[in-house]
Structure 1
Amino acid sequence: MKLLVCIIDNFYRDEVEKQLKQKDYRMTELASSGGFWRKGNTTFLFGVEEQDVSILKESIKEACLDLEKKKQRKSKQAHRFTSFLVDVKDSAPFLAANQR
């Protein structure tokens, strides 16, 4: 089992959440601003099996591209999101630090 930490611009948040829920992905959302991209963004946490990571990332990318097409907005960035993959057994210290 892996933990996919995905940081995404708030512009895409609703569409990503909607499309991934329709595909039965379960996620946790954390709102944040500043620091990483110096603007409002949302961090999604996904628990996913290793063999499904590439499918999940592709689903996120498709949701972002669908929204750009609907809103007629082209991204100036090559990537729509940034993600980090952590083995669940290695994520315990990361998750425990947030419970203080």
Structure 2
Amino acid sequence: MKLMICVVQNRYRTAMEEGLKANNYRMTELASSGGFLKKGSTTFLIGITEEDVENLQQTMQQICLAQEKQKGQSKETASRYTSFLIDVKDSLPFFQLHER
């Protein structure tokens, strides 16, 4: 099992949320702020299987491209979103330390 942490420019937030739901991805959405992408952003936490990682990445790219086609190209296409992939088993020691 993998955890995808995806920080999305707010310009793509609604399209990303709707597109991921339409493709049956379950996620948690967190409002985030700060200068990470130098714009307002939203963070999605998505649990996926290892076999689905490439499909998810392609889906996210297609969602952003479709949004740009519909609303116009962004000047900052290099920072549509950024994502981090974490193996869930790597996070287990952290959670075990906090058990009571």
Q: Note if 1:23 corresponds to 2:37.
A: no
Q: TM-score, normalised by structure 2?
A: 0.85
How far is the alpha carbon of 1:79 from its aligned partner? 4.5
How far is the alpha carbon of 1:83 from its aligned partner? 0.6
Alpha-carbon distance between aligned partners in 1 of 2:35 and 2:76, rounded to the nearest angstrom: 19
Count the aligned residue pairs. 96
How far is the alpha carbon of 1:77 from its aligned partner? 3.0
Contact 1:68 1:75 in 2 (8 A): no
4+ long deviations beyond 6 Å: none
Q: Note if 1:11 corresponds to 2:11.
A: yes
1:25-64 matches, cutoff 5 A:
25-64=25-64
Q: Deviations over 1:2-60 (max 9, x none)?
A: 00000110100000110110111100011111131232101100100011101001101
Q: What CA RMSD, in Å, does the superposition of the two structures yield over aligned residues?
A: 1.9
Alpha-carbon distance between aligned partners in 2 of 1:2 and 1:85, rounded to the nearest angstrom: 7
Contact 2:2 2:86 in 1 (8 A): yes
Gaps in structure 1 of 5+ consecutive residues:
none
How far is the alpha carbon of 1:62 from its aligned partner? 0.5
Gaps in structure 2 of 5+ consecutive residues:
none
Contact 2:10 2:41 in 1 (8 A): yes
SS at structure 2 position matched to 1:42: strand
Q: Which moved more, 1:40-49 or 1:70-79?
A: 70-79
Contact 1:19 1:63 in 2 (8 A): yes
Alpha-carbon distance between aligned partners in 2 of 1:36 and 1:78, rounded to the nearest angstrom: 13
Higher Rg of the two aligned structures: 2
The sequence identity of aligned pairs, in percent, is 52
